[in-house]
Structure formats: C-alpha cells, structure tokens
A and B are shown apart, each in its own frame.
Chain A
Amino acid sequence: MKIVVAIKQVPARDSQLRIASSGKWIEDADLTYEINEPDAYALEEGLQLKEKHGGEVVALCAGPARAGSTIREALAKGADRAIHIEEDDLGDPLTAARIMAAAIQAEKPDLVLTGLQSDDLGYGQTGVILAELLGLPHATLIMQVEKVDGGIRVKRELEDGWFQHVEMPLPALLTIQSGISKLRYATLMGIKKAKTKEIKRISSAGLAGAGRQTTEADRLSHCAIERIYLPEHTKHTQMFEGTPKEAAAKLVEKLRFEARVI
C-alpha cells in the first residue's frame, strides 16, 4: 500500500502567544515548533499499515524552510521519503489543499492520511478538501483502519461515545483522530537512517494547477482573517494569590462559605 501522510508543523503546544503588531498573526520570532499532534497520529497509523501490509510511506509537508525539522522527524520515525512544498504562507485551507493536491496527484497513492485538524488554525478541513479535489472517497475522525476485500473498513468516532464502521474502496483519504494508537519515538538508528532518505523540495509555484495565480479561487474563497486578538475576559473570575498553601486555603474557604458547594 502506498500511503501519503500530510503533516503540518505548528507552534509548540505550550507556547506563550503574543499578537504581532500587524494584528493578523502571532509574533513568531521566538517560537519553537513541533509536528501538529493529530498529524503525528496519522503518521503513526501510516507506519503501522505499512508494517502490516507492506508498501511505502511518503511524508508530505507544506510550509516554510523551518518545517524541515518536522520532516526529518517523520523520516526518523520510519517514513520512507518526504516531499517538502516550500511555501511561507499557505493561506486558507482551500489554497493549502490545492497546493498539496497537486503534489499528491503525482504520487498516485492508495491511501492519503492526515490529522483531523491543526492545532494552530484549527479549521479541521484540509483533509476533506483534499479528498474533494482529488476525487477520493473519505471519512473523518478515524480510530481504526482495517484492510478488507475491495478496500478498507474504518472505525469513525461520533459524538457522545458512539462509533460507526464505514467501508470504502481504495484509493481513499482518511483524517485520523488523536489517540488512535501509541506514538513511537524515533530511534537512534532511525535518526541515522533518516539522513540518507530523500526529501524532494518543490516550490508551490512549480506545481501545476496550484499556487498563488489562482485569483479566481482567491476571490471566491474569501476566508481571510481580518484581525486576531486575545479573547476578552468577560467572566468575573476570583483569582487567589499568595503561596500555594495560602491560595489553597482561600479557595477551600470560598467553596465552603461563598459558593456552598462543599
């Protein structure tokens, strides 16, 4: 099975975020970056499917040069090769997906995997948009993938503890839910091997049918962020300060005599 896993690099989860003076994005000078967590699970699922059924795992990442560290990590974990679409600003999810679809099409994979959403923009759409652009059947929030006669059978998560099995032919696209299995670490051997693996670097302008020249699409997609800001604190929260012991004592007192919940 030839599997393309689309991964994204995002600011590390614990980052202290400050709004850039442009008001359009965050201050990114001192940020550290990591693989988008749901994408790490998508990669893990791709690697496990390859271990079971053979084939190849190709990591695909669109992003600026710094995303190279995330790509090397994917190779160290076991991806066979990688494609880095060098693009500083991916824009909205449709623009990003158009760029990636062109690269995926050239690979003719059996299965395309990606995380269910990104931890930065959080649209939760790129996978499904890719499926539509590539003309593939898809399913989202996947917790399990099995190969069956004529295709795959997946376990899809629904709300409130419900699940559903869905079957579909290959090629197909799946968005993977976090927690589908335990993530592996890169071994020393893996890190060493990764250095010899191929990373194909392409610019988005070089991809047929993609890139920035699609002005008609840009006009129609109109999903641009006008302004970003820290949420206003609308609720009155009583904060307890002092030493941990003092803060704890005050909290217990309030819960007992003011809120009367204990």
Chain B
Amino acid sequence: MSGDMSILVVMEQRAGSWNRMSFETLSAAQHLAGELGTTASAAVLGQGIDRLAGELATKQLEKVYAVEHDLLKDYTPDAYTAALRQLLARTQPGLVLFPHTYQVRDFLPKLATSLGRVAVSDVVSYRVDNGQVVLVRQLFQGKVNADVRLAGDAPHFASLQAGAYRGDQVAQGSAALEKFAPEIARGDIRTRPLELFRESQRAVDLGAAELIVAVGRGIRESENIALIQQLADAMGAELAASRPICDAGWLPMERQVGSSGQTVAPKMYMAIGISGAIQHLVGMKGSRVVVAINKDPNAPIFEVADYGIVGDLFQVVPELTEAFRKSK
C-alpha cells in the first residue's frame, strides 16, 4: 500500500437527522486509524448542516468537513458524487469509509467507478495484517466469508454493514472544523427526487412484541403459513417473516423483519426456515434469545442462535406447537 492511509468517513444525514449506522462506521474508523497509526476524519454533506458538523467536531477526529451546497439539500447521486470527488481531490485520504446504507449503495459504486476503483461493499469486519487492511465481506447471502486485501493505489473505498461495530463507542475529543463548498451546477443533476412517503400506517408494531415467531423461504407454500401461525398462537407470539415471504404476498409487508422492514428486539425470536442473510439479521439480532430451526446446519442464522434444531420444519413445528400447548 503506497502512501498515507488516513481515513475519511462519509456520514449520512437526511433533513438534519443522522442515519445512526454512520456512528458505527465512525467508531470502526477510529479503531482502524489507531491500529494503522494514522488519522480519521469525517465529512457530512447537505445544506444547513452546521449543527451536525458541530456535533462531529466533539469526536476524536483529525478534521471534520462540512460539505455545504444548496443542491445537496435533497440527495441525488449526481450531486453527491460531484461533491465527494472534489472533497477527495482536496483532502487525498487513503481510505474512504461509508455506512452500507441504501443511499450509499446508490452512489458509492458511481463515485468509485469515476475514479477507476471498485468499492468493497457490505463489509462485516476488518483486520490489519502486515500493515495492510484486510476487509471481510460475505458471499452467498452470508454462507461464505471472503477476505479482500487493500493493495495498490489510494484512495480505497469500503462500506460497512450495520452491526459490525458499536455506534455508542465513538471516542469523544475535538476536531478542527472546516467548511468545504463544492461547485455543483443544477444542470449536472439528472434525476429529480420527490417527497418521501410511507405506504400506510403500520397496524402491527413488532417492535413492542415480547415473543416473535418468524418464518422464511423454508415454508415453501403460502398454505403452510398456517402451521407457523398455530405455533405463534400456542406461544402467544407475534408472527413475522423474512423479506421473500412478504414479497410473495404470503404475509403483509408490515410483518417483515430486516433492513427494509422492522427492527425488533423481543425477549425471544424464533426463526423458522430462515437462512439468515445479513439483511434479515440486522433486523433481529438485538433479540435477547434467538432460536433457529433450519434444515441446513450451515445456515448463517445459527451464527446468532442461542438454541437450534437442525431438521425439517414440517416435522419439528407441529411437535413444538404440541409441546407448547401441553406446557401451558
């Protein structure tokens, strides 16, 4: 790796509120900078971001860049890419880290490509080996890990998945605040973002449920959902699902747990026929006790499970329902 590996974290905000995942990335950057003996800085993009930049300036960072422009008020990939290219040209970081949010997925590959680089996306951990950074990312929906070593010329780009580092462990300190005014023309922006909206009021608040029984692809057919409903009823639990079940319309979207659905933290979460792709795990790994029932002993869901049964759900679930009914 040539040159200085100083780290820049690009934080995410919308209408003055942080995306909390940004602080996990910030915490990871502080640790990594410590290990590499380099510095970490942070940038925030938007319009009217003095307060947010001021908050960052109370963290242990080398510098905080407030990248301010009227055309950064509402996110567009064109304006964000233009602004960040200018910031990178000016600050010359070795490694640029992002939280792996939906917004970052929308512009980071464009930014990296415009500089002839490939971003290492969806990183779950890192280590320093021989003075080089090795990033770990998941393949095959979390069934396999891959090590990617950062070598070659800076800048390097990576986005960190939720839950990889603790956001509440950001080290406090003070940082020099610097304003950066990129040049962006209205004509450079080809997409027009409109208002944000939600489909409907949620009738089910899974966030408040104490017990959750969740079902995934392993259930195979819509008719089989009844089997899981009976188990949930026997336990007095709320019924939830992974994304494919809601995509197929077998359960309403409001019962979806995961990055695009609800985030839950019940006393007990029972995952049935759910393999445990990271998009699902980020929505439920705050649960106190996790139970997994899956036919594949290598399913990533067992990585987060306290109790597990490897077996055919069509045999196990009816027995479980019966056992719960009896134990009442």
Contacts and interface: CB of A to CB of B under 8 A. Distances in A.
B270 to A, nearest CB: 9
A255 B268 contact: yes
B141 to A, nearest CB: 6
A252 B323 CA distance: 7
Interface string A188-230: 0000000000000000000000000000110111111111111
A179 B248 contact: yes
Interface in B176-235: 190-199, 202, 211, 217, 235
A17 B262 CA distance: 30
A68 B8 CA distance: 44
A167 interface: yes
B300 interface: yes
A239 B104 CA distance: 38
Contacts, number: 264
B190 A168 contact: yes
Given A157-B260, A220-B152, A244-B319, A122 B139 contact: yes
B121 A228 contact: no
Contacts of A219: 152-153
B320 A251 contact: yes
B16 interface: no
A251 B195 contact: no
Chain B interface mostly helix, strand, loop or mixed?
mixed
Interface string B111-131: 011101111111000000000
B306 A125 contact: no
A257 to B, nearest CB: 10
18 contacts: A94-B116, A122-B141, A140-B102, A161-B261, A161-B262, A162-B198, A168-B192, A182-B249, A217-B116, A220-B153, A228-B144, A239-B309, A240-B308, A244-B316, A248-B316, A252-B324, A255-B291, A262-B211
Interface of A: 11, 13-14, 16-17, 19, 26, 92-94, 97, 116, 119-125, 128-129, 131-133, 137-141, 157-169, 178-179, 182, 216-217, 219-231, 233-235, 237-241, 244-245, 247-249, 251-252, 254-256, 259, 261-262
